Each structure stands twice: as C-alpha cells, then as structure tokens.
Structure 1
C-alpha cells in the first residue's frame, strides 16, 4: 500500500487544526479543574465555619464547666450565635443531636425539636442518620444528599460537612449546593472554550492564508523547475517577496541564467571541435601518404639484404656441417682412446688380482707346512702312548698326508699364477702403447675440427653482420609501420572526438535559449571527409608481404648434426608488431 504524502500547505493546515483542538481541549480541562478547585474552596470554607461553630460551643461549654452559666443557658447562647452565622451570602449552620433530633435550624425553625431520623431525600437516603453515623465512625466528614435551597421547594444536590461535639452530644454541620459550583464551572468552561475557539479560528485563518500563498509560490517554483528539466531555459523565475522562498527562487533564477550561458558555450565549443577534427583528419591523410612511400623504399632495401644474408648463411651452414663431421670423428677417436684406457685399467686389475692369488697360495702353503709339523708331533706323542695312542697315530698320519698334498697343490697353483702374471704384464705394456697412439690420433682430429670451426665462425660473423644490417632496415620499417599505426590511432581518436562533439551538441540542443534557438551545426561533408581519410589510413597501414619471413635455401644436402646451433631470427623483438600491422 502506497504511503500518503501530504503537501506542505496541508501539513500547515493540519498543524493549525491541531492547535485549535489543543486549545479547545485546554479550555475543557480548565473548566474541569475550575470545578474541582471551586468545590474544594467552598468545602474548605464550610469546614472552617463548622470548626468555628465547634469553637463557639466549646467556649460556652467551658463557661458551663466553671459554673458561670447553666447548661441550658450555655446551650442557648451557643445556638443563638451559631444561628446567626452566614457565609457565601446564604449558607448557614444547623445542629442536631446524636439521635437525629433537630436542635437548631436558622432557615427552618419549625424543624427544631423534631425527630429527623426518618427524614429521607428523594433518593431514599436517611440523611440525618447518615450525619450521626459519620460522626460516630470518624468524628467528622462529608455527606452528599439532596436538600431544597432556601426559599425553594425543589431539591438540589448538596455536600455537607458534619462534626461531633461530645460534651453536649451535638452534631454541627453546614453544606454547600454543588450545582452552583457546577454552574460556575460551566460558565468558566464556556468562556474558556469560546476564547479557544476564537483564537483557533484566527490561527486557522492566518495559516490558511499563509498556506495558500506558500502553495502558490511553490507551484511557481515547481513549474519553473519542470520547464528547466524539459530543456526550456527561456522562462524567467519570479522571486516575489525576499523571504526564504524568495531567496530560493532567486537562486533558481541565477541557476537558469548560468545554465543557459553554459549551454551556449557548449554549443559553440562543439562546433569548433568538429572543424578541428576535420583538419586533423586531413593532416593525418598527408602523413599517411608520406609514411607509405618511406615504407615502400625500406621494403626494397630489406629484400636485397635478405638475399645477401641467404647466401652467406648457406656458406656458414656448410662450414658448420663440416665442423660437425670433424667434431664427430674426434668424438669417435676419443671414445676409442677411452676404451683402450679402460682395457689398460682392466689389465692392471687382473695383474693385481693375480698377485693377490699368489699371496693367498703362499699362505695356504705355509698352513700346510705347519699342519704337517703338527701331524708329525701328534704321531710322536701317539707312539709314546703305545697301544692307547694307536688310533690317534692313524689319524695323525692321514692329516699329514693331506697336508703334504695341499702343499704340493699350492706350489703348482703358485707356478701357474706366476706365469699368468708375466703374461698379463706383457699385455698391459702393449695396451698402454696402444692408448698413447689413440691419444695422438684424437689430438690430430681435434686440431682439424678446430680449423674447420674457425672457418665456420668467420662465416657466421659475416652472416651476423649482414643480419644486423637487415635488422636495422627492419627496425626502420617497423618504426615506419608504427608511425602509420599512430596515424591511424590519431585518425580514430579524431573521429571519436567528433562523435563525442556530436553527442554533446545533441545533448545541448535539447535546451531552448533566449535568442539562440537556431545555432549552426557542424557540416556533414567535413564528417564524411574525415571518415574517408580514416579509411585510407587504415588501408595504408596494412603489413607488406615482402617483409614476411621466407624459407632459406641450402647449397647442398649435407647431413645435419644433432646439436647444430641455429641462427636467431632477425628482428625477434618486433614480431608482435609485425603481426599487428
């Protein structure tokens, strides 16, 4: 559900109405407060009168107590003084006793001496018995009942204050008619409400007039703002009085004037931008033509350098192939020398092993000799033992026989190993001589490979010099192409600037200005010419086909080594730019 938005004038009217209702409410509350205050004031006066009557009775009772007067005289003097009391014009004080018998009544003396215990008001309240009960219960208090006013027959609401005088069993009371207080309160409330109503109506009338004027001026301001929002800057804004709204309207008028001047300047500036864009496009076309001629000359120079570099590169590749073959032969010879060295190392290891076997065989021979001596000693000991050592003597004989055979076998192995060691030493000397010969062969092959490599290096240096010259020409051509690209970007920027100027002019054309409704627009032929020039620059900036890399021809189908170095491509740092153009 949409929220209701009240206007400023409506809110002012509601505020004035609220003030009026608040004043009326205040008047009503004042009337109620006046009624309560007036009633309390009247009741306070009644209570004071009753207390005064009690003082009178107390004074005469003291006279009785001192014996100066009798009780009847004292009571009579007290009743006379109390009957004479009047306050608020016509209010009085009466006296009855504790059995509800009327003792003194200044307005209706015919009631004196009568039993009033059965007297009731129209509501059925036994008012005198209620007086007695209030005194018995609290000593004093208020009682509400109905009683006719003096000189009238109709009953009126009355509130009386009663208090007991114990020495004489009297109930002294007096009351006020509450309808009079209510009537006075109503009169006061009527005056208050009438005053509040008049003041509220005056406030409403003033606020209504102020709201109408405020709404009228705000409507004028809204219409002026809507006209500005719609692009109409020819409508002046009237400020009126120089108050807050007037100052706001003056600021709005200054804003309209400043905005009109700004729009006029924007229109004039957009026309100037359009003419400048056409001039920039014309200059870019001339620059693109000269850049194209320079690029053509550089392309022919680059083609000649490319052919020369191809011939030198072919010779360098042939020298590189020969160097690779020589290097391969040197590698083979070197591997042969390494094999011979490994054979020599193997023969040395065999010789060392043979010597070690001879040493082990000598050790075995020594062990057999020692075993033979031990077996001989065991046989001697067995012979000394006689018959008890015969079996041991047989074992010792067998051990001796085994030891002798082991010694014989060890001597034969030693002889064989000695012969093998001699032969191995002879073979090792021959292999060492063969290794020296292979080293000389490897040295000669390396010298040949070095000479061929020097020739290849010289050719490669020549090729690099030609490549550097070609790279320089390529860089010049690249810079020329970059210049062409800058020309194209400048033309595109000029066209973009022209489009922005047209959009700016279109945006400014929405506003209507005083005396400037028909400003000249930028001519369309200049825009068409600029677009055509930009197209020409884009065509001329295309990459030339003569500078594309071509495959290099070889002089002869020579075998290609596995690790042969390849020459670096020329102008490698500008590959992305060549692809761009």
Structure 2
C-alpha cells in the first residue's frame, strides 16, 4: 500500500469513496422502496376503512329501524359500487360463504359461490379472505387477478375488513405492476443521479491526479537526477502549493550549487 504511486493512491481513495457511496445509495433505495410499499399498503387500508364506514352507516340505519334491512343493504351496495380511488381502482363485497355480493366489473361473479374459485396460481383467495376476517377481522392478502385493460392476470395486494352486522367483507387493492412501475421510476431516477455523480467523481479524480501526480513525479525525477550528479535541472513551476514550493526549492538549490561550483572553478 505504502509503495503505490500517488496517482494509484488517489484512484484507490476515490474508488473506496465510490464503493461506500454506492452502498449508501443502494441502502437508501431499498429503504425508499420498503417505505413506498408500506405507504401503499397503508393507503389501501385507509380507503377500505372509508368504504367500510359507508357500509357501517347503512347498517346502523337498518339497526335503528330508519331503513328496512334489505333497502339499507341495497343502498349500501350502490354507494360502494360507485366509489373509486386512484382514478380507476374499485371496491368489492363478499360474504363468509364465501359468495360475491357486489363487484363493479365482474358481474358474472355476483351471487356465485366462490369457495372453489382460485386465481391462476391456485390460491383460493375468497376462502382465505373469509378465514382471515373470521380470525382477526381484517388484514392484507396477496393473489393474482385480472386487471381491466390487461390481457394477462396481474399480481394484486388487497386489504379486506369484516362488517359484523351483515357478515360482509369489503375489500380493495392495488395491482403490483402499478407499484413496480412507480418503483422503477424511483430506481432509474436514482440510477441516473448516481451515474452523473460517478462521472463527476471520475473526472475530478483524473484532474486532481493529473494536477498532483504529474508535477510531483517531475519533482521526484529532478531530485533523482540531482542525486546522480546531474545539475541540468529546472522545473520552473509557477504554482504556489506545496508541490510548487518544493519545485522552487529544487530550482533554488540547483542555482546555488551552480554558483558554488563556478566560484570553486574561478579560484
């Protein structure tokens, strides 16, 4: 390590800094990814709780006899059917049989027994939703579902919550490709910034290395020539840093030696 050239040491130092910086950037990205995914899950939970509040309101009207139970259910269904979040994301309602009570797009599922319904990966998602809500009242579930406008099923993460008055389950979710698309934007933005900084560090390192290693090498070469008895040395550096001061000292030393030898010869 101590025998390396100055230029190599500069590049080694810069490389070490870049490695540390890369690790920091990678950690920041992974942390941002984790926070973004958690924020999206929290958002789903909050929007489902809002829809649950609508259902709970109508269930309360039925309990207080302000509305007939069937009328309250019908109005609750229509209210939730029209709700949207993130432009086109929707809600659905199923019960614990499980049977679809309301779905704004898959009308063929409404009223159907979903106990044997499985996603393309074989998950009995509605059975798992019912078990989840029966066990803890609410929670997240991941599965694959047909996305409107897409020709292939897409991964989805949903939050479901039980309405105990009617034993309904209201749920909503976001497609994972939407999450991945937004994360890709963050990734490529981060990568672009990192590459720009990397290029800047490389350019600065090259400039600094050239400004230090080259003149320092000239000064060392001059001293080696002096050590070999060659006084035909003149660096003539105008810089005022330590290297410039060393070069001027070498030039002054050479000048004084020349004067000394001339004096000796003239005696």
Q: TM-score, normalised by structure 1?
A: 0.43
Question: How far apart are 1:518 and its partner, in Å?
Answer: 4.1
1:78 aligned onto 2:108: no
Q: Which has the higher strand share?
A: 2
1:114 aligned onto 2:112: yes
Name the CA shift for 1:259/1:106 in 2 (closer, same or farther; >3 Å). Answer: same
Q: Which residue matches 2:45?
A: 47
Question: How far apart are 1:180 and its partner, in Å?
Answer: 1.5
Cα distance in structure 2, aligned partners of 1:218 and 1:154: 65
Q: Which residue matches 1:140?
A: 138
Question: How far apart are 1:43 and its partner, in Å?
Answer: 1.4
Q: Which residue matches 1:100?
A: 98
Name the CA shift for 1:116/1:153 in 2 (closer, same or farther; >3 Å). Answer: farther
Q: Which residue matches 1:242?
A: 240
1:91 aligned onto 2:89: yes
Question: How far apart are 1:8 and its partner, in Å?
Answer: 1.5
Question: How far apart are 1:36 and its partner, in Å?
Answer: 1.9
Match 2:216 to one of 200, 215, 218: 218
Give the unaligned 5+ runs of structure 2.
Answer: none
Name the CA shift for 1:66/1:141 in 2 (closer, same or farther; >3 Å). Answer: same
Give the unaligned 5+ runs of structure 1.
Answer: 265-512, 521-581
Q: Which residue matches 2:173?
A: 175
Q: Which residue matches 2:192?
A: 194
Q: Which has the higher helix share?
A: 1
Cα distance in structure 2, aligned partners of 1:21 and 1:187: 23
Residue 165 of structure 2 aligns to a residue whose secondary structure is helix
1:16 aligned onto 2:18: no
Which whole-Å deviations, capped at 9, do the CAs of 1:22-65 have from their partners, x for residues lacking one?
Answer: 44444433433332222222211111111112211111111111
Question: How far apart are 1:225 and its partner, in Å?
Answer: 1.2
Of 20-29 and 236-245, the range deviating more from structure 2: 20-29
Residue 168 of structure 1 aligns to a residue whose secondary structure is coil
Cα distance in structure 2, aligned partners of 1:519 and 1:48: 100
Determine if contact 1:23/1:200 at 8 Å carries over to the other structure.
no
Q: Which residue matches 1:130?
A: 128
Cα distance in structure 2, aligned partners of 1:516 and 1:10: 44
Determine if contact 1:103/1:113 at 8 Å carries over to the other structure.
yes
Q: TM-score, normalised by structure 2?
A: 0.91
- The structure number with the bigger radius of gyration is 1
Q: Which residue matches 2:154?
A: 156
| Aligned Cα root-mean-square deviation (Å) | 2.2
Determine if contact 1:94/1:173 at 8 Å carries over to the other structure.
yes
Determine if contact 2:233/2:251 at 8 Å carries over to the other structure.
no
Determine if contact 1:121/1:147 at 8 Å carries over to the other structure.
yes
Q: Which residue matches 1:165?
A: 163
Cα distance in structure 2, aligned partners of 1:164 and 1:148: 24
